[in-house]
């Protein structure tokens, strides 16, 4: 029998705070990523610093926050009370240290565990904090969490407040960049939740007077609303809601103490339940819950004493109590909705009539689809047992804990070669593959019935688990992986049309991406470089002189599994699909998928020319 590994005192090791954060960053900031996803770690770093400035505003100190992101350097400046000068180093470098443990000072704070800025500090190659108060200031500079310099000034003319600057470590966040759209969305949410707060980001101002009503105005075009937004406010709760004319599923924006709880939690579950109960009682009809909530677009924000979240990134509320002498979250939300929504509908009969018509329309559509939905579900269940369209990952096969949900990815690809290569080279723990059979149907202008009648759409819907809502979406990232040629572009467009037509919130919430794959391989005997553009190819040729071998990849099927692992691993390049807020979904679909027009033909020709220029070279 082989000798067992020795287990002695030498095997026991204690890590200091920064070593543990750097060794297990996912425990503190979720997934890492390169910035292509809005829940990537670099945005969590910004949020952790920003949350402290928001808490100052909530406590009545400082109405303006200034943010600058230039390249990889982030600067956040608030005009709050400033960190107590003797504790500047401690609050950013000692775990479980912070003012938020004193509930008298921060009763309903975003972060309570004293970890946030320590994680930013440990995961940054440069981190600087400066506090000014009472005409004095203190500053400290760190590298990878290690204190490098500390300074005190007994006199300064600087305005009071705190300034933090940091540069995320490129050895952890590889090839990263901050995307303006994601930062802007985060900042807009902050001002919606804090009316009266001004945030200035790279010179652009963000401000809101109407809270969550402004949030919905930003997210739904006037032409798409069934009725004007209902806006309800209480001491520790705010709700805004309307129904979409053409959207099929439910869309929610939920917040707790200013934190965007993208995975919902007890407050969102309570709201969905309360909405149905209140509507039933108001109309005196036992409407099906799915008919009441179909096409709803809503936002809810509550404030809870010392909230308990289900992860450090605070994306799902686990608290069942509001705190203090208040009732449970479920009771509090239900009582508020029952009273205020019922009152609103009584005072606004025109809105109440439009809402009822929408519910009755949903009821008719559900009954028309009931038979085909049942058959479609049976087909999907049977297909999942016998075919290989979906190669699932271990998170969903029950072999791994579901706390890795944020890492889960579904690749949607076409063709046996491409799907085979991705399947063989993927990370089986978190990456799944869905294989299309040829080009999907153009679903523009079709009803939801086609989703159940079309085998591809029915199985894709089942794989994603999005028939009723996004709440139980099985994969955080949905990646379209097609060839970079005309046929591949067409498949991309058809899939995007499907999601826009029936599940637009999947795009709105930042779950849909296009996989970038290399166009060229440039190599010699010593080194191989994969190039994603003509410029990268030229640079690679210069680097690998003289006369390296150059291969042009014409499709995904030409890339072997051994090579594919480099493109869908930690260096994966993804392009997020984003919606233009100035155009309605109907306008977008009509332009891209409606009858040909001279404008669309000109657009296609101009944008294809870029691809053709590369191919021809």
pLDDT given at position 386: 53
The pairing of strands 73-78 and 161-168 is antiparallel
Closest residue by Cα to residue 426 from 506, 481, 487: 481
pLDDT-based confidence at 601, cuts 50/70/90?
A: low
Pairwise CA distance, residues 213 & 215, whole Å:
5
Can you tell me the mean pLDDT for 119-125?
Answer: 93
Whether the pLDDT of residue 7 is over 60: the answer is no
- pLDDT tens column, 192-234: 999 999 999 999 999 999 999 999 998 888 888 999 999 999 9
Cβ pair 257, 304 in contact under 8 A: yes
Does the pLDDT at position 585 exceed 50? yes
Q: What's the pLDDT band for 271 if we cut at 50, 70, 90?
A: very high
Is-cis flag, bond preceding 389, omega within 30? no
Question: What per-residue confidence (pLDDT) applies to 479?
Answer: 95
Out of 165-174, 236-245, 347-356, 402-411, least confident range: 402-411
pLDDT of residue 583: 61
Model confidence over 394-412: pLDDT tens digits?
887 665 555 677 789 999 9
| pLDDT reading at 608 higher than 50 | no
Residues 339 and 542: their CA atoms lie apart, in Å, by 71
Q: Indicate the range of 150-164, 386-400, 459-473 predicted with least confidence.
A: 386-400
Q: Would you place residue 613 in the very low, low, confident or very high pLDDT band (cuts 50, 70, 90)? A: very low
pLDDT (average), residues 479-494: 85
Helices then strands, each counted (H, E), the chain? 21, 22
pLDDT tier at 611, thresholds 50, 70, 90: very low
Cβ–Cβ contacts within 10 Å for residue 54, how many? Answer: 26
pLDDT above 80 (res 109): no
Regarding predicted confidence, which is higher, 571 or 424? 424
Is pLDDT at 167 greater than 60 in this prediction?
Answer: yes
Give the helix ranges, DSSP H, for 94-251: 116-122, 180-193, 212-219
Element (H, E) at 29: helix 26-29
Continuous H helices in 129-204: 180-193
Percentage above 70 pLDDT, the chain: 84
What per-residue confidence (pLDDT) applies to 383?
64
Mean pLDDT is highest, among 26-30, 592-596, 612-616, for 26-30
Closest CA to 359 of 299, 281, 274, 295: 295
pLDDT at 592 over 90: no
Q: According to the per-residue pLDDT averaged within each range, which of 140-149, 440-449, 490-499 is highest?
A: 140-149
Residue 54 contacts residue 195 (beta carbons within 8 Å): no
Q: How far apart are CA 441 and CA 418, in angstroms?
A: 20
Separation CA 43–CA 41 (nearest Å): 5
pLDDT band of residue 291 (cuts 50, 70, 90) is very high
- Taking CA atoms, 216 is separated from 198, 268, 301, 307, 581, in Å, by 19, 16, 13, 25, 12
pLDDT at residue 587 in the model: 66
Domains belonging to the chain, first-starting first, are: 17-207 (3.30.565.10), 212-366 (3.30.230.10), 387-517+553-616 (3.40.50.670)
pLDDT of residue 227: 94
Q: Look at 596 and 60; give whichever has higher pLDDT.
A: 60
pLDDT for the residue 15: 67
Could you tell me the strand order of the sheet in which 237-243 lies?
230-233, 237-243, 296-302, 251-256, 259-260
C-alpha closest to that of 164 among 47, 315, 37: 47
Please state the rounded mean pLDDT for residues 480-505: 86
Smallest CA-to-CA distance from 509 within 470, 542, 483, 547 is with 470
Question: Which among 380-384, 394-398, 412-416, 595-599 has the top mean pLDDT?
Answer: 412-416
- Is the pLDDT assigned to residue 475 strictly greater than 80? yes
Pairing of strands 477-481, 409-414: parallel
Q: Give the pLDDT band of residue 586 (cuts 50, 70, 90).
A: low
pTM (two decimals) = 0.80
Q: Is the pLDDT of residue 553 over 60?
A: yes
Query: Under 8 Å CB-to-CB from 477, ≥6 apart: which residues?
Result: 37, 408, 409, 410, 511, 513, 574
The predicted pLDDT at position 149 comes to 92
**350, pLDDT greater than 80:** yes
Q: Are 477 and 31 in contact, with CB atoms under 8 Å apart?
A: no
| DSSP element (H, E) containing 587 | helix 585-593
Confidence (pLDDT) at 373: 75
Predicted pLDDT at 122: 92
- Give the model's pLDDT for residue 374: 76
Distance in angstroms between the alpha carbons of the first and the last residue of the chain? 63
Q: Which residue has the higher pLDDT, 342 or 263?
A: 342
| Statement: residue 98 has pLDDT above 80 | no
Residue 1 is predicted with a pLDDT of 46
Q: Are 524 and 544 in contact (CB under 8 A)?
A: yes
Choose the weakest-confidence range: 144-153, 160-169, 285-294, 322-331.
Answer: 322-331
pLDDT given for residue 616 in this prediction: 30
Q: What is the mean pLDDT of residues 133-159?
A: 91
**Average pLDDT estimate for 533-553:** 89
All residues at 6 or more sequence positions from 336 whose CB lies less than 8 Å from its CB, including other chains: 232, 234, 237, 239, 274
Helix (H) or strand (E) holding 277: helix 266-283
- Edge-to-edge strand list for the sheet holding 512-516: 390-391, 431-436, 409-414, 477-481, 512-516, 573-576
pLDDT digits (tens, 9 = 90+) for 440-466: 888 887 888 888 888 888 889 888 988
Residue 362 pLDDT exceeds 60: yes
Please determine, for residue 65, whether its predicted confidence score (pLDDT) is greater than 90: yes
Tell whether the model's pLDDT for residue 299 goes beyond 90.
yes
d(CA 345, CA 586): 29
**The dihedral sign for the CA sequence 29, 34, 35, 37:** negative
Task: Count CB neighbours of 402 within 10 A.
Answer: 9
What average pLDDT score do residues 44-65 get?
A: 90
Most confident of the following: 234-248, 334-348, 367-381: 334-348
Q: Is the pLDDT of residue 533 over 80?
A: yes
């Amino acid at each position: 029998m082989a000798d067992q590994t020795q287990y002695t005192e030498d095997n026991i090791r204690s890590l200091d705070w920064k070593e543990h954060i750097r060794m297990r960053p996912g425990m503190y900031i979720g997934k890492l990523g390169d910035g292509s996803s809005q829940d990537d770690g670099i945005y969590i770093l910004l949020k952790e610093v920003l949350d402290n400035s928001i808490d100052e505003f909530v406590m009545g100190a400082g109405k303006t926050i200034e943010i600058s992101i230039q390249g990889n350097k982030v600067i956040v400046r608030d005009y709050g009370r400033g960190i107590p000068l003797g504790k500047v180093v401690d609050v950013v470098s000692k775990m479980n240290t912070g003012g938020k443990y004193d509930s008298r000072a921060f009763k309903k704070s975003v972060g309570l565990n004293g970890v946030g800025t320590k994680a930013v500090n440990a995961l940054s190659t440069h981190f600087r904090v400066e506090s000014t108060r009472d005409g004095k200031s203190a500053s400290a500079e760190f590298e990878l969490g290690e204190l490098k310099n500390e300074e005190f000034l007994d006199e300064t003319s600087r305005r009071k407040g705190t300034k933090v600057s940091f540069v995320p470590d490129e050895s952890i966040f590889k090839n990263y960049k901050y995307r303006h759209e994601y930062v802007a969305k985060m900042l807009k949410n902050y001002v919606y939740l804090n009316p009266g707060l001004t945030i200035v980001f790279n010179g652009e101002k963000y401000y809101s007077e109407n809270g969550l009503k402004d949030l919905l105005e930003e997210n739904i075009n006037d032409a798409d609303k069934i009725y004007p937004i209902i806006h309800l406010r209480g001491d520790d709760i705010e709700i805004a809601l309307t129904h979409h004319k053409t959207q099929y599923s439910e869309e929610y924006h939920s917040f707790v103490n200013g934190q965007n709880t993208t995975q919902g939690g007890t407050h969102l579950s309570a709201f969905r339940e309360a909405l149905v109960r209140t509507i039933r009682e108001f109309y005196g009809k036992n409407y099906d819950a799915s008919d009441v909530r179909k096409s709803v677009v809503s936002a809810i924000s509550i404030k809870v004493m010392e909230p308990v979240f289900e992860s450090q990134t605070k994306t799902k509320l686990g608290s069942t109590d509001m705190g203090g002498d208040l009732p449970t979250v479920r009771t509090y939300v239900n009582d508020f909705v029952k009273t205020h929504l019922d009152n609103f509908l009584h005072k606004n009969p025109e809105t109440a009539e439009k809402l009822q018509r929408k519910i009755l329309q949903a009821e008719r559509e559900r009954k028309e689809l009931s038979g085909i939905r049942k058959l479609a579900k049976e087909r999907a269940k049977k297909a999942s047992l016998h075919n290989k369209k979906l190669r699932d990952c271990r998170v969903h096969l029950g072999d791994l804990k579901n706390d890795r949900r944020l890492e889960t990815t579904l690749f949607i690809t076409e063709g046996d070669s491409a799907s085979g290569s991705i399947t063989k080279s993927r990370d089986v723990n978190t990456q799944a593959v869905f294989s299309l059979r040829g080009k999907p149907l153009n679903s523009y202008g079709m009803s939801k019935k086609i989703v159940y009648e079309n085998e591809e759409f029915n199985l894709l819907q089942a794989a994603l688990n999005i028939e009723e809502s996004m709440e139980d979406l099985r994969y955080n990232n949905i990646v379209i992986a097609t060839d970079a040629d005309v046929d591949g572009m067409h498949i991309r467009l058809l899939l995007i049309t499907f999601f826009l037509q029936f599940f637009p919130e999947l795009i709105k919430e930042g779950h849909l991406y296009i996989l970038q794959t290399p166009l060229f391989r440039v190599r010699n005997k010593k080194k191989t470089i994969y190039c994603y553009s003509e410029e990268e190819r030229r640079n690679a040729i210069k680097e690998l002189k003289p006369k390296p071998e150059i291969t042009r990849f014409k499709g995904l099927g030409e890339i072997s599994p051994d090579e594919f692992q480099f493109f869908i691993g930690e260096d994966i390049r993804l392009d997020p699909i984003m919606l233009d807020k100035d155009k309605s979904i109907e306008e977008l679909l009509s332009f891209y998928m409606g009858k040909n027009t001279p404008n669309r033909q000109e657009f296609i020709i101009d944008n294809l020319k870029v691809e053709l220029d590369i191919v021809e070279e």
